[in-house]
Amino acid sequence: MSTQEPPVIGKDALGREVKDLSVIPWWGVDRKKIEWHPTINYDRCAGCGLCFVSCGRRVFDWDTKKGRPVVARPYNCLVGCNTCQNLCPCNAISFPSVEYVKRLVARYAVKKAFAIVSKLTPIKASTEEAEISGTGERPVESM
Ligand code: SF4
Ligand code: SF4
């Protein structure tokens, strides 16, 4: 985790402040090396604007000539979030597979997160190792 304050890099088509959130590493990984962001299928997009208006991370901007959203700041997207995909009424937004993100989580995030919360709620190490294996499976208890 980083304490680096993301710089303001301008305003979007609605005049809202835009920050460069890509400077914030994701669990120690350069955010720009993680290919998690929306892709728009313009054959499906109806130009309703919901994705652009509702994403608080300013991933989208608006093409005022075409009346369509653009993925202007892909690395501002929160790794693992796919809210805009869920909200899009036209199913025009796609993301990489969830398995891609789960592999990243297993590799970089879970142990660090566990180290933080285990200070709040100490539990046995055997349970820790089982739950952070990244497989999503509970281990078979040894007899
Ligand atoms: S929410 Fe979907 S249909 Fe609406 S502008 Fe965004 S991509 Fe297009
Ligand atoms: S997934 Fe979330 S953070 Fe990423 S563009 Fe969509 S709404 Fe914004």
Tokens of 50: 């919901």
**Boundaries of CATH 3.30.70.20 in the chain?**
8-96
Q: What is the mean pLDDT of residues 82-97?
A: 98
Distance of alpha carbon 82 from alpha carbon 102, whole angstroms: 14
Tell which CATH architecture fits domain 8-96: 2-Layer Sandwich (3.30)
Q: What is the pLDDT, as a whole number, of residue 33?
A: 97
- List, as own/partner pairs, every contact residues 21-25 make where C-beta atoms lie below 8 angstroms and the sequence separation is at least 24, other chains included: 21/57, 21/73, 21/75, 21/76, 22/73, 22/75, 22/76, 25/1
Which bound ligand lies closest to the C-alpha atom of 96?
2
Q: What is the mean pLDDT of the chain?
A: 89
Q: Which ligand is nearest to the CA of 70?
A: 1
Query: 128 or 9: whose pLDDT is higher?
Result: 9
pLDDT of residue 122: 78
pTM of structure: 0.86
- 20 neighbors 9 (Cβ within 8 angstroms): yes
User: Between 75 and 127, where is the model more confident?
Assistant: 75
Question: Which tens digits make up the pLDDT trace of 31-87?
Answer: 999 999 999 999 999 999 999 999 999 999 999 999 999 999 999 999 999 999 999
Please choose from 37, 39, 40 the residue to mutate so as to test ligand 1's pocket, defined by most ligand atoms within 8 A of CB. 40
Scored b (16 or more CB within 10 A) or e, 52-63 reads: beebeebbbbbe
Which of 41, 43, 48 gets mutated to test ligand 1 (max ligand atoms within 8 A of its CB)? 48
